[in-house]
Structure 1
Amino acid sequence: MTTSPTTSTQDLSTEAGLARRTLTVPHLVFLIIAASAPLTVVAGGAPTSFAVTGLTGVPVGYLALGLILVVFAIGYGAMSAQVQNAGAFYAYVSAGLGVRQGIGASMLALISYNAMQVGLYGIFGFALASFVSAKTDVDVPWWAAALVGFVVVGWLGLNKIDLSAKVLAVVVVLEFAVVIAVNVVSFVVAPEGVGAEPFAPENWATHGIGAVLAFGIAAFMGFESGAIYSEEVKDPRRSVARATFIAVGIIALFYAFSAWALAVGVGVSNVVPLSQEYGPDLMFVFLEEQGTVLLADIANVLFVTSLFAALMAFHNAAARYFFSLGRARVLPHVLASSSRRNHAPVAGSIAQSALALTLIVIFAVVGARSELGPLFPVVTMFTWLTNAGAFGLVFLLFITSIAVIAYFWRDNRGYPALVRLWAPALAALGLGTVFALILVNFDVMIGAEGPSPLVVVMPAIILGAGVVGLVWGEVLRRTRPHVFAALRDADVG
């Protein structure tokens, strides 16, 4: 990708840094929610959970996960007030557990965020190509549609962050509007009446609850990204914590309510078999059957823009990780290059775009010979990479909870035990459980039929990145002691 006129070579600097005091709490909330892609979760995630788990208690899973993450956010928010760094996980783990562990976390986070972002191009390309083909009778390959999104995401990534935030704000508001409209239609139709059956214990307190939580956690991925923008918010000591609590609360309640509404709309007794039959198309089929074809078309368009919003949010997160690690000289220092004019992390953005382009091309070439046909990018690129990324990010949340305890153990900074000890400990217990559930259900999550090497390979790649980071941290300690010492002695608040 070539640099745009606004980010020419003369405008780049490794000293310019990120934009300061740019983002407000509402900006941050939209950036966080955009990564969670509300319409994508309601149209794709909820039906998938119903279909795979065979349980109607999916709404309870969103509430349970929301509770775990609210507890996590208590210690996380306190940590964000002490440490402001664009490489949030890296900085927090370094401050709490040590530099080598922090570098290990940084590599794991970098791989996980990139896996989530690149994987989304698979379903974005499929959804956009399918919609265009259906409306124009022009056969558009998924990779061509993916490249359209790639170009726009890359351009926005080279511009000031508040531009991305404003674009995402519009998309997120429209997503909420269409999902609310679907919810209203669902309750009006309600073929079996409006009841609370999905919340009854017998519909979720069974052996399948593990799979519900394993699938549901992907709906929240991106909520932790608020801390990544801590250098760019107007009030770093308060904004991150406030935005995180607001976003998690909205996400949990909205997803639970919308999953319940979908079950009511198609009938609680039918939601599992219909989800197994139609998958992510269930919501659109439901709308067309109710005669709301226009709403179905609008929902289809916004499904595509929802995916774009998630692409943009994870691109921004990955770019800032590249920037932070380049600035710390853990990775080549050139990655710390930012624009003098708009302070965008230009080198990090280009690095993320280059990685995304490489994998789009690889999957396009391989997919051309696949028997999966049009579903290839969804079944492979999207499913493999996003689930692997979610696996890595849940593990990072678990490690970060432990790092929070260790950080405040040395100096409580005036925080009560609930904030610095009990809440992070409970969060670590809950997140550790979810992590184990994902590992146990990984074959189901990637759609493997029978034994598959991917069940071992994908988690191994993610965790292996963390091990490589630990080893690289030791190499830096031995061969570049000045860099290691600077990281160790960095003022983290």
Structure 2
Amino acid sequence: MRSVHTGDRLDPIAGALAADRLGAPSVVYFVLSAAAPLTVVAGVVTTGYAVTAITGLPVAFLAVGAVLALFAVGYVAMARHMANAGAFYTYISRGLGRPVGIAAAWVALIAYNALQVGLYGAFGAAAAPLIDQWTGVAPPWWLLSLIAWALVATLGMMRVDVNGRLLAILLTAEVAVILIFDLADLANPAASGLTAETLSPSALFVPGVGALLIIATLGFVGFESSVVFSEESRDPRRTVPLATYASVAIIAGLYALSAWAMTVATGPANIVATARRDGAETIFVIAAAHLGDAVVDLARVLFVTSLFAAMISFHNTTARYFFALGRERVLPAVFGRTRASTGAPKAGSIAQSTLGLIVIVAFAVLGLDPLVQLFYYGGTFGGFGVLLLVCTTSVAIVVFFARRPSGESALRRIGAPVPAAAALTVMVWLALNNFSTLLGVAPGDPLAWVLPAVYGAAAALGLVWAFVLRSGQPAVYSLVGMGAKAATAHDPTH
């Protein structure tokens, strides 16, 4: 493994990257593992049906997939023009300027923290019935969430060397169970028959369509990580685009198929009532009528492990955001320090774990619903933040290529990025106008405007901080978005 030192400590971001390690299939496995398919199918899809009472989720996945495929054209093209291409923060800084980039970084911290912490609610709610079934003891959800929190916090302080083969086995088992459930649903339709009603584009033209789109976007969170592996890929000019497009296509197809199969099994008119009655158990209750208990029990276990894997993934993502900003001195330098024995981003990991503990304890004390109010609200809030970042990045890509000559084709510079930016802007507008439907609250409920306003406030504070840096610390400001180069520049030994 190649290592790069900055002063007396190892820079884990620069040091961990080794060229020619990953082919396209390996990158796809990493991306899909982060996407946690069974978590989305069992948690996001069923909760989405229950909360929004809208049945067009299958076609929404396809629509969002098409938009993100357009976005990916410019996204992977831009990756070829900068060394630190792993985060939205970098793209936005290079395309729209450092102040907007710093504002986006603050939005990203909130969004990824919300996604990670929200998973604790789903983990506790999903694991409790299993423990009850196996032992006859029904533990409170928060106790199981705290156990998961302790494990994630511990792993976050360690150097985690992901075993690609194990990831492939777990992901293959997870997807196989989903497909078995889908086939069982389609082979045993309700009285309405094998209807494609929820796959029709007309299902998008209903009140609250913005809620559908943001729920669908939740399922794609993590697809952007394919670019992170560009420096470690064999022939990145071919591998990264192939992995990105393949990941978007697989995610869109799998989630649309699963969401549609559920409506076939229950009948489109009954899916909302079924999801409201059974919650995250919906896919298991449906499957239990046609498959043996062993398959259903295996799927329940895989659902819990899928949630746990997603928690680890988002924890590491959030800690890396803290680290990247600390390394560039956008946040206090302490966040740019690593644990000497493992190279883990120590302060960022501790910050993320502290937030998780506070949220779990607060929800337990207040007696709030871990599945809807923590997992679904937290996930949709975080998903909306990611949608804002993708939309802003799409604009940054257009501006970036308009300002500098490149060897990219007109399709990559304009043809795909411009319509992608337009479509994503419409999606953001629809999501804002339908946020109450998204959350399942009454129009005018304070929650429907407070949550989006959080991102506006974070972006505003980020802009102010950028201008403070520009006037008070110009050397720091000049290195925003430079990644490992910033660490070298800040190191007095270089």
Residues 19-28 or 216-225, more deviating = 19-28
Once residues 126 and 51 of structure 1 are traced to their aligned partners in structure 2, the CA distance between those partners, rounded to angstroms, is 16
How many angstroms does 1:472 deviate by?
0.6
1:406 to 378, 392, 399: 399
CA 1:356–1:75: 2 relative to 1, 3 Å: same
Alpha-carbon distance in 2 for matches of 1:147, 1:308:
12
1:76 CA drift (Å): 0.6
Change in Cα spacing, 1:162 to 1:383, as seen in structure 2 (3 Å) is: same
Q: 2:18 aligns with which of 3, 18, 21?
A: 21
Q: SS of the counterpart of 1:84? A: coil
Equivalent AA in structure 2 for residue 414 of structure 1: G
Alignment of 1:45-444 (within 5 A): 45-85=44-84, 88-163=87-162, 168-192=167-191, 193-230=193-230, 237-290=237-290, 292-338=292-338, 343-367=343-367, 376-444=369-437
Compute the displacement of 1:60 (Å).
Answer: 1.2
Give the Å deviation of 1:427.
Answer: 1.2
Q: Give the secondary structure class of the aligned counterpart of 2:479.
A: helix
Cα drift, residue 17 of structure 1: 3.9
**Is 2:79–2:85's contact at 8 Å kept on the other side of the alignment?**
no
Deviations 1:202-261 (A, max 9, x none): 544444544322321111122123334556556655544332212111000111122222
Look up the equivalent residue of 2:389 and give its one-letter code.
L
Give the drift of 1:398. Answer: 0.7
Aligned-partner Cα distance in 2 for 1:74–1:56: 30
Letter paired with 2:134: K
1:469 paired with 2:458, answer: no
CA, structure 1 residues 146+230, in 2 after alignment: closer, same or farther (shift >3 Å)? farther
The residue identity in structure 1 corresponding to 2:418 is A
Secondary structure (helix, strand or coil) at the match of 1:487 reads coil
Q: What SS does the corresponding residue of 1:360 show, helix, strand or coil?
A: helix
Normalising by structure 1, report the TM-score: 0.88
Structure 1 residues 131 and 232: CA distance shift in structure 2, 3 A: same
* Structure 2 alignment gaps of length 5 or more: 1-7, 487-494
Q: Is the 8 A contact 2:59 2:201 kept in 1?
A: no
Q: Write the distance in 2 (CA, Å) between the matches of 1:282 and 1:382.
A: 16
Whole-Å separation in 1 of the counterparts to 2:163 and 2:346: 14
Cα pair distance change 1:291/1:262, threshold 3 Å = same
2:297 is matched by which residue type in structure 1?
A: D
1:131 aligned partner, one-letter code: L
Contact 1:120 1:382 in 2 (8 A): yes
Q: Which whole-Å CA distance do the structure 1 matches of 2:279 and 2:468 have between them? A: 48
**Secondary structure in structure 2 of the residue aligned to 1:135:** helix
Give the Cα–Cα distance (whole angstroms) in 2 for the partners of residues 338 and 239 of structure 1.
30
Q: Secondary structure of the residue that 2:17 maps to in structure 1?
A: coil
How far does residue 74 in structure 1 lie from its aligned partner after superposition? 0.5
Which region of structure 1 is more displaced relative to structure 2, 177-186 or 157-166? 157-166
Paired letter, 1:20: L
What is the CA-CA distance between 1:114 and the residue it aligns to? 0.8
What TM-score results when the alignment is normalised by the length of structure 2?
0.88
Q: Deviations over 1:356-408 (max 9, x none)?
A: 223222323333xxxx5xxx222322233221111111011111011111111
Deviates more, 1:357-366 or 1:47-56: 47-56
1:119-165 C-alpha deviation (Å, 9 max, x unpaired): 11111122112321233221312222112222332333344454276
User: How far apart, in 2, do the equivalents of 1:75 and 1:163 lie?
Assistant: 29
**C-alpha spacing 1:191/1:232, structure 2 compared with 1 (3 Å):** same
Q: Return the offset for 1:166.
A: 5.5
CA distance in 2, matches of 1:394, 1:222: 12
Residue by residue, what CA displacement relative to the aligned partner does 1:268-299 show, whole Å, maximum 9, x if unpaired?
A: 45334423433332211112223522222111
How far off is 1:91 after superposition? 0.8
Determine the C-alpha separation between the residues in 1 that align with 2:56 and 2:13. Answer: 47
Q: Corresponding residue for 2:5?
A: none
Q: Which runs of 4+ in 1 moved over 6 A?
A: 488-492
The 2-side partners of 1:349 and 1:303 are apart by: 25
What is the one-letter code of the residue matched to 2:404? D
Paired residue total: 475
Q: Choose 69-78 or 186-195, whichever is displaced more.
A: 186-195
**Against the structure 1 CA distance between its residues 283 and 131, is the aligned structure 2 distance closer, same or farther, given a 3 Å change threshold?**
same
CA distance in structure 1 between the aligned counterparts of 2:387 and 2:406, rounded to whole angstroms: 27
Task: Tell me how far 1:476 sits from its aligned partner.
Answer: 0.5
Q: Which AA in structure 2 matches 1:466?
A: A
